[in-house]
Amino acid sequence: MKIRTCPVGAFQTNCYLVADEETREGVLIDPGDETERLLKLVRNEGVTVRALLLTHGHVDHVMRAQEVKEALKAPIYAHRADLDLIRTAPQQAEFFGLESGPVPVVDGELKEGEDFRVGNLVFQVLHTPGHTPGGIVLVSGNSAFVGDTIFAGSVGRTDLPGGDGRQLAQSIRTKLYRLPDETILYPGHGPPTTVGEEKSSNPYVRALDA
C-alpha cells in the first residue's frame, strides 16, 4: 500500500491518496480543497482513483469533493449520519469565510461492519461518532485514516453542531484503542501518530471522560 499525504486549504486538511501498488488503483480520502493540486498528485502518481472517501462532513474535508468526483469520474462515499452535514458545506464555508465548491453528491454509504475494497486494498470501516455524528475511521493493515477523531496529542473538536465529547471518548476507547499499538494513525490535521503513543500520552481523551 502506497500513501501520499497532501495538506490542502486554509485549515491544512490532510487529503490522503492511498493506492494498491500492484494494480495502481486507489482512493482519495477527504479531498477538501485545492482541486487542481489533488488532480496533479493523482496524475503524477499514476493512480486510477476508484472512490472518494469522506471521514466526516465538515467543510474542510468535503468542499472540493464534487469537483474531484467530476474530474476523476469517481463516486463519493460517506456515513449516512453525516449526509445532512455534507449538504450544508456552502453554509459552513460561508461561516469560515471560504469560497465553497458545489455541494458533494454522495453516491454510496460507508457502514461499520462492511469492508470497502479497491483493487487489493481492503478498508475496515469503524463508526466513530463524537466529532460529528457520522465520523468514521478507515483501517487497512497497520494504517488507520482517522479524520478528526484523534490527532497526535489531541482530539477533534466537540463544540460544533453534532459534537459530543463523551461519545468521542467512547469511540476512541472502544474502537481506536482496541487496534494494535503499532497501528499508524493518519489524522485529518497534523502528523501521523500511533495507537500506542496516544493510549499512553493523549491527555484529551481522559479529559473528555471527566
The 3-state secondary structure of 146-197 reads: EECCEECCEECCCCCCCCCHHHHHHHHHHCHHHCCCCCEEEECCCCCEEHHH
* Rounded to 5°, angle at Cα 132 from 14 and 88: 85
Which residues of the chain are modeled with pLDDT < 70?
Answer: 209-210
pLDDT for 183 equals 99
How confident is the model at residue 153, as a pLDDT? 95
Whether the CA torsion 175, 129, 61, 73 is positive or negative: it is positive
Predicted pLDDT at 148: 98
Sign of CA dihedral 7, 90, 69, 62: positive
DSSP string of 121-146, one letter each residue: EEEEEEE-TTSSTT-EEEEETTEEEE
Using alpha carbons only, give the angle 16, 19, 24 rounded to the nearest 5 degrees: 145
Model's pTM, two decimal places? 0.96
The span from the CA of 174 to the CA of 115, in Å, is 19
What is the pLDDT, as a whole number, of residue 15?
A: 99
Domains of the chain with bracketed CATH: 2-209 (3.60.15.10)
Q: What pLDDT, on the 0 to 100 scale, is given for residue 210? A: 60
| pLDDT score at 101 | 87
Residue (of 52, 77, 192, 204) closest to 134 by Cα position:
77
The x, y and z cell numbers of residue 3, run together, are 500513501
